[in-house]
Copies of this chain bind each other. A is one copy, B any other.
Amino acid sequence: MFQETLEINTRGRGTLDITRAIQEAVARSGTATGLCHVFVQHTSASLILCENADPDVRHDLESWFAREVPDGDPRYRHSLEGPDDMPAHIRSILTNMDLTLPVSNGRCALGAWQGVFLYEHRHGGQRRRVIVTVS
């Protein structure tokens, strides 16, 4: 059982491609066939698998969330840290903080168009802890 923690600085709301960092961790684990579990230790950032070729996909995804889980909704009671606080929690729950990938031939067996992205939901950049476990 291999486990390590990555520390990733985000640049505010949006997606960050962490596919390479995950593949490198899997390579260090020496596992040929198994599972790679990725976990973000926060409640206002999440992990998604997303189309990795056209940046417009992540743009449109962000637009959808901005519309469906709006910042500063007057119905939110929880707004201690600002108008993006509560939406960040809802977005994280809808997109998840855990992700499990199959490992084949020593690598995460992603489809050709699949990338692993850390999705920051706060407007300000944050330092995020991501735990990678390979079994």
Could you list which residues of chain A lie within 8 angstroms of chain B, going by C-beta atoms? 1, 3, 33-35, 37, 39-43, 48-51, 54, 56-57, 59-61, 63-64, 68-69, 75-78, 80, 86, 89-90, 92-104, 109-111, 113-114, 129, 131, 133, 135
Contacts and interface: CB of A to CB of B under 8 A. Distances in A.
Contacts of A94: 94-95
A49 to B, nearest CB: 5
B95 A50 contact: no
A82 to B, nearest CB: 14
Oligomeric state, in copies: 3
Nearest to A41: B111
B41 A60 contact: no
A88 to B, nearest CB: 9
A34 B133 contact: yes
B3 A48 contact: no
